[in-house]
Amino acid sequence: MKKLYIILCAVLALAVSCQNNRDNNLTEAHIYIVNSGLQSCEFYDLDTEPTASVSIHRSGFFSADATVKAEISEQALLDYNEANGTDYQMMDPQHYMLSTESISIGKSERGGTIKVKFDYDAVAALEEGHKFVVPVTISSNLTITEGKELVLLSPKMLPAEIFFAPNRVETIKWNSDSASIWTKKLTISVPFVNPDDCEVVLDTSAAALAEFCEKDNAWYNLAPEEAYYITGDTVLAAGASELVVTLNVDLSALPSVYRCSIPVVLRSTSKNYAINEKNYYYLLHLQQDETYSIMDRTSWICDYSNSWHENFNNHYKMIDGDSTTFWEAAYNSSKTDCDEQGGTFRCPFEIVWNLGNVHNLVGVSLTRRANNADLYTGYVEVSEDNVNWTKVVAFDFISQFAGVDTNTIKTSSGPFEYLFGDKAGQYVKIVITKCSKVNTTCDVAALAEFNVFEYK
C-alpha cells in the first residue's frame, strides 16, 4: 500500500511539472501580413465596388489578445521605392478607403482580415501595367515581424468572362451497332462566384457552323436539325461558377451522311458577361465508321484547262499514279502549245476533270511536286452539271507551314488529304490561286498527283 502511494505521488508531480512547462518552447507572439510587399488585387467587372482583403496572421505564443491597427502610409511607400529601386505611386485617396481600420485577434485565434474598398470606376479606368498602389501598414500591441508590416495593393480590373471548360473540337465515329443516342456533357464556367442568375444563349445553327468553315478554310456539313438537341438548364445560378448542359445526338437520324458537324457556340448572356474569345465553343464532327475509297481514275477526262506546258496531255500526269511525274503550268513563251492565256502565264490556273458519272464524293488529296513544291494556295470545287459549282476544299500551304523555313515548304510534298461531307458530283475543278515565281513573266505551278475519295 505504501508503494502504491509513492507511485501516485510521483505521477502527480510529473503531471504538474508538464503542465507548468507546456509553453516553454513557444516563441514570442508575432503579428505579420501574410502577403506582404507588392500584392496584385484582381477584381472582376461585375458592377460592384471591389474590395481587397489583407490577411493578418499571429504566430508564436498564444497567451494574449492582439489588437492590430492599419493605416495608409505614403512614407512607407517612399521607403519601399528607395529600398527596392521601384517607382510605384500613391493612388488618389479619393478612390479608396480603409473599411477596416483595426481588428482584434483573440488569444485562441490565428488571424484576421483588414479590408480596403476601391472605387469601381477608378479601378476600371486604370491602364494595363499601371504603377498606382495603396500602401497599407500595420501596428500592434504585439511584436510585428520585421519586413512583414507593409503591403502595396495594386488593383486591376479583369473582364467578367464566361467560357466553355474545356473548349474543344471532337470527332466521333459511329456504325450500325452504336447506341441510338450519343450524349456529351458541356460545362460553361465563370472564374468567380456568379452574383445573380444569368441566362446563356447557345447557337447550334448553320450560321454558327459557317463561321468555323471560314476560320478553318473548310466546308463542314451541318447535321440534320432533327438529329441533335440541347438539354439542361441554361441558367447559371446565383452563387454558382458553372452550369452543365448536354448535347444529344440521334445517330439514327444520320443514315445517309458520311461526315457532318454540330457547333455549340456561346453567343450571349443576360448579364452581358464578356465571352472569352478563344474558349467560346464546342465543335463536334461525326462520321460513319466505314472507310472511304480512292476513285479509279482510268476513265477520267480533262474537260478544261487554261494552262499547260508543251503538251495538253501533261494533265494526265497528275492522275497516272506516279508522284515523280507532274502537270506543269506554262512558263516558256517560246513554246507554241502551252496555254490559252496569250503568253501571260499567270494564276489562277484551272483544271476540270470529268469523272464519267455522278459519284458520292467525300474528299480529295493533293501531292505537290517533290523537292520543288511550287503549289501554294487554291481550292477545289464540285459540280453535277459542269455549270453550278460548290467549293468543298481550300488549301493554303503558306499558312500551313507558317514559321517554317522555305526549304521545308518546298520539300513537303504530301499527299495532303482533305475530307468534306457528302457531295454529289461528276465534275471536279482544281483552282490554283498562288504559286512560286521564277521570274517577272510567269507563275510556276505543278501538281504531281490528284485523287478523289468516294463513299459507297
Is the pLDDT score of 5 beyond 70? no
What are the boundaries of each domain within the chain? 27-158, 161-288, 294-454
Instruction: Give the pLDDT band of residue 12 (cuts 50, 70, 90).
Output: very low
Highest-scoring range by mean pLDDT, 3-12, 62-71, 126-135: 126-135
Pick among 2.60.120.10, 3.40.225.10, 1.10.3720.10, 2.60.40.1740: CATH of 161-288: 2.60.40.1740
Q: What is the mean pLDDT of residues 138-146?
A: 88
Is the pLDDT score of 349 beyond 50? yes
Radius of gyration of the chain (CA): 36
Taking residue 431's Cβ as centre, other Cβ atoms within 10 Å add up to 18
Instruction: Give the pLDDT band of residue 346 (cuts 50, 70, 90).
Output: confident
Q: What is the mean pLDDT of the chain?
A: 85
Q: What is the pLDDT of residue 171?
A: 82
Q: Pseudo-torsion of CA 268, 273, 274, 275, nearest 10°?
A: -40
Cβ burial of 236 (10 Å; 0-12, 13-18, 19+) is buried
Question: What span, in angstroms and rounded, lies between the C-alpha atoms of 188 and 389?
Answer: 40
How does pLDDT run across 205-234, given as a tens digit for each residue?
A: 999 999 988 877 677 888 999 999 999 999
27-158: CATH topology is Immunoglobulin-like (2.60.40)
pTM here is: 0.59
Determine the CATH number of domain 294-454: 2.60.120.260
Instruction: Give the pLDDT band of residue 24 (cuts 50, 70, 90).
Output: very low
Single-letter amino acid code for the residue at 61: F
How does pLDDT run across 294-313, given as a tens digit for each residue?
A: 999 999 999 999 888 887 78
- Find out whether 449 and 424 touch, Cβ atoms under 8 Å: no
Taking residue 369's Cβ as centre, other Cβ atoms within 10 Å add up to 22
Higher pLDDT, 74 or 337: 74
Question: What span, in angstroms and rounded, lies between the C-alpha atoms of 412 and 370?
Answer: 8
Q: What is the mean pLDDT of residues 422-441?
A: 84
Look up residue 292 and give its three cell numbers: 472511304
Is the pLDDT score of 105 beyond 60? yes
Q: Give percent above pLDDT 90 in the chain.
A: 50
Question: What span, in angstroms and rounded, lies between the C-alpha atoms of 219 and 364?
Answer: 13
Highest-scoring range by mean pLDDT, 30-34, 218-222, 231-235, 390-394: 231-235
Look up residue 104 and give its three cell numbers: 482584434
Q: Of 30, 67, 28, 33, which Cα lies nearest the Cα of 143?
A: 30
| 27-158 and 161-288: identical CATH topology | yes
Provide the β-strand partners of residue 59: 30
How does pLDDT run across 259-297, given as a tens digit for each residue?
A: 789 999 999 999 989 999 889 999 998 877 666 789 999
Question: What span, in angstroms and rounded, lies between the C-alpha atoms of 259 and 288?
Answer: 7
